[in-house]
Chain A
Amino acid sequence: MGDKVAARKRMIEADVPIIPGYNGGSQSYSFLKKQAHRIGFPVIIKASGGGGGKGMRIIQDKKEFKSAYEAARREARAAFGVPDIYIEKYIDNPRHIEIQILGDNQGNVVHLFERECSIQRRYQKIIEETPSPFFERRPQLRETMGEAAINAAKAVGYTNAGTVEFVVSSDGSFYFLEMNTRLQVEHAITEATTGIDLVKWQIRIASGQPLTPIQDKITQYGHALEVRIYAEDPQNNFLPCAGTVLEVQFPESPGVRHDAGFQAGDKISTYYDPMLAKLIVHSESRQDSIRKMAFALSNYAALGITTNVEFLREVLAHPAFKRGWTTTHFIKNYFSNWTSVMDKAPIEALLAAAVFEAMENGAGVEMNNEVNGYTDVDPFSPWKYAGKWRVGVKRILSKFPKS
């Protein structure tokens, strides 16, 4: 299933809807150009050998075909060793919605609902969530897509945890994109909402044990959201940024999971993928998840390097994101010329820098090495203005209307 061209053939046989395109394997320039005309512009070129957005090109009109064809083949060769590409219809305002599945050696396959991963830059995901806001008014579509994902997995006799990726058009029609035969970066949001440990099941399946969760018993609770923290510059086309992490601040609170691969003192090089960490929150509703994530990000800092933290905060705060108008064009539509609003340093920053300097110079510095309890750096927290409010006092709680 790693080869996208072969995967499409199997899906056609299993009646899983696929996007109109050419997947015959010919790499001839003039032949592919004719295919592009047959499918009708806009079309998209993709690498047969792999994902991650590498070797991918959208072509709006026939004049752009030559340069896109050449660039896609160069990138495909560099990334995957083979320059092979294929071509398909490009869908406007698409959403990227994928279904998590588990398959065992006994032939059982279950799905663990969807993940919407439409918020992307450079064709790579930066924000993922489940349930998808697109399904809020379309519960039937969620079931249909879950079944399609199971059919896709059964068609290839798939075992292990896997993901069936679909592109969903605004009218609700959906097409198979590719199957990821591995645990994905964003698997944690599925674990949070279903309570099922995917890694544990990978190991159990590999050791030959049958799946015990049955489809009707798998449910979702609440909503989970993930953001990927990257060492990159959103103001400069999301180019990776190298540097040394001097100091860090990470959020800690219930319902927040931080999977990080870095700490203070680490050198971030541009020779590897610039993803630093993933931050996952789980709440009762989508609205609560967005709030919780916004708060977690306001307590997140990696000093000394450029990251996308501020950019992520602004995406979460955007009205279009809050309304769930999430398509893969979201960043291009709403954040194409985004710049950080770098105000003049506020007085507290200047004061901190000045006092820090004076302390470093040593004149009678008192050191207090107590680090515990240092998880909140928010001077605007409503708890600071809570006044007479106290947690757990009946007199105050009884003022709430009884439901």
Chain B
Amino acid sequence: MSEILFDDGQSIRKVRVQRQGRKFLVKIDDNEEDVIVEAQRRGQGRLQLRYGNSPSLYKCVLAKEGTDRFIFVGGRIYKLQKVEKKVAIKKEDEELIDFDLTSPMPGKIVKILVKVGDEVGAKDELLIVEAMKMENRILAPYAGRVEAIHFVVGDQVRQGDVLLDLIPQESSETATQQNETSNETLI
């Protein structure tokens, strides 16, 4: 019996799978009962399954990339992340705070509307990145104070580049400390 942990974006789901002849016995989370699954591979990334007493035949398309698992079933794509046990436990006490704003796409900075030290409100326009010949406004995701701007007008930026640091208003004292550490990890 092998145990697998999947993060479905809301919680960690624990799954145990056991093969029994042509069938699979699957235990989800800490349920008492095993679910009996009849499954067949139907070519690359394709799986057909029935489970329990459900009359439906589920045709699924699956793919994986690193720890990400994509499952297309019933007209929707679900994304699960396969997680290691240690990480799963750690994640529950850890609170991640993101202080940086990154470029959503490769492009060029055409306008910067704020300067270091400015107080901005949530949804205020911070700067404009031009990409694919369209101007994209980068808005403040929360109210705060501009701590640093990493580019000047005319600079080319890559997707994921940190454009500026914005310290949230409420927690600016504790934030300053944490921001220093978060910058270190970024370098």
Q: Which residues of A contact B (CB under 8 A)?
A: 52-54, 71, 74-75, 78-79, 122, 236-237, 239-240, 242, 244, 246-249, 264, 270-274, 297-299, 301, 303-304, 310, 313, 342, 344-359, 361, 363-371, 374, 376-380, 384
Indicate if the CB atoms of A368 and B41 lie closer than 8 Å: yes
Indicate if the CB atoms of A378 and B75 lie closer than 8 Å: yes
Interface centre among B37, B44, B71, B82 (most CB of A within 10 A): B71
- CB contact under 8 A between A357 and B61, given known A239-B136, A379-B56: no
- Asked if B132 CB lies within 8 Å of chain A CBs, one says yes
Indicate if the CB atoms of A122 and B134 lie closer than 8 Å: yes
Chain B positions 16-57 with a Cβ under 8 Å from a chain A Cβ: 17, 19, 24, 26, 28, 35, 37, 39-47, 49, 51, 55-57
- CB contact under 8 A between A249 and B37, given known A349-B73, A355-B17, A357-B4: no
Indicate if the CB atoms of B72 and A239 lie closer than 8 Å: no
Indicate if the CB atoms of B51 and A348 lie closer than 8 Å: yes
Indicate if the CB atoms of B26 and A237 lie closer than 8 Å: no
Chain A residues near B57: list those with CB within 8 A.
Answer: 379, 384
Indicate if the CB atoms of B6 and A353 lie closer than 8 Å: yes
- CB contact under 8 A between A246 and B58, given known A240-B132, A367-B41: no
| Bound CA–CA A264/B44 (angstroms) | 11
Indicate if the CB atoms of A348 and B135 lie closer than 8 Å: no
Task: Select B58's contact among A271, A304, A352, A374, beta carbons within 8 Å.
Answer: A352
| Bound CA–CA A249/B77 (angstroms) | 11
Chain B positions 69-94 with a Cβ under 8 Å from a chain A Cβ: 69-78, 80, 82
Closest Cβ of chain B: how far from A284's Cβ, in Å? 24
Chain A residues near B55: list those with CB within 8 A.
Answer: 384
| Bound CA–CA A352/B24 (angstroms) | 11
Closest Cβ of chain B: how far from A204's Cβ, in Å? 34
Kindly state the interface size class of chain B when it binds its partner. 35 or more
Indicate if the CB atoms of A303 and B51 lie closer than 8 Å: no
Chain B residues near A79: list those with CB within 8 A.
Answer: 133
Task: Select B40's contact among A274, A301, A344, A368, beta carbons within 8 Å.
Answer: A368
Closest Cβ of chain A: how far from B25's Cβ, in Å? 10
- CB contact under 8 A between A348 and B58, given known A247-B70, A299-B75, A359-B41: yes
- CB contact under 8 A between A237 and B136, given known A304-B70, A379-B57: yes
- Asked if B122 CB lies within 8 Å of chain A CBs, one says no
Contacts beyond the supplied A75-B135, A78-B130, A352-B49: 17 A-B pairs with Cβ under 8 Å: A74-B130, A242-B159, A272-B132, A342-B9, A347-B35, A348-B58, A348-B73, A350-B15, A351-B37, A354-B15, A355-B17, A355-B49, A358-B19, A365-B41, A369-B43, A377-B61, A378-B74
Indicate if the CB atoms of A351 and B74 lie closer than 8 Å: no
Task: Select B72's contact among A52, A237, A301, beta carbons within 8 Å.
Answer: A301
Chain B residues near A74: list those with CB within 8 A.
Answer: 110, 130, 135
Task: Select A273's contact among B2, B15, B132, B136, beta carbons within 8 Å.
Answer: B132
Closest Cβ of chain B: how far from A378's Cβ, in Å? 7
Chain B positions 123-181 with a Cβ under 8 Å from a chain A Cβ: 128, 130-136, 159
- CB contact under 8 A between A345 and B8, given known A75-B134, A75-B135, A377-B72: yes
Indicate if the CB atoms of B73 and A377 lie closer than 8 Å: yes
Chain B residues near A236: list those with CB within 8 A.
Answer: 104
Chain A residues near B128: list those with CB within 8 A.
Answer: 71
Indicate if the CB atoms of B15 and A349 lie closer than 8 Å: no
| Bound CA–CA A190/B43 (angstroms) | 37
Interchain Cβ contacts under 8 Å between A and B, 6 examples: A242-B105, A248-B61, A351-B49, A352-B60, A353-B6, A359-B39
- CB contact under 8 A between A384 and B56, given known A247-B70, A349-B71: yes
Indicate if the CB atoms of B75 and A304 lie closer than 8 Å: no
Closest Cβ of chain A: how far from B46's Cβ, in Å? 6
Residue of B nearest to A79 (CB): B133
| Bound CA–CA A346/B74 (angstroms) | 10
- CB contact under 8 A between A368 and B132, given known A303-B70, A349-B80: no
- CB contact under 8 A between A78 and B133, given known A349-B73, A370-B43, A379-B57: yes
Interface centre among A272, A303, A349, A357 (most CB of B within 10 A): A349
Indicate if the CB atoms of B61 and A249 lie closer than 8 Å: yes
| Bound CA–CA A111/B76 (angstroms) | 40
Chain A residues near B135: list those with CB within 8 A.
Answer: 71, 74-75
Indicate if the CB atoms of A246 and B41 lie closer than 8 Å: no
| Bound CA–CA A105/B64 (angstroms) | 55
- Asked if B106 CB lies within 8 Å of chain A CBs, one says yes
Indicate if the CB atoms of A244 and B65 lie closer than 8 Å: yes
Closest Cβ of chain B: how far from A360's Cβ, in Å? 8
- CB contact under 8 A between A351 and B26, given known A74-B110, A310-B76, A384-B57: yes
- Asked if B114 CB lies within 8 Å of chain A CBs, one says no
| Bound CA–CA A346/B73 (angstroms) | 9
Indicate if the CB atoms of A368 and B42 lie closer than 8 Å: yes
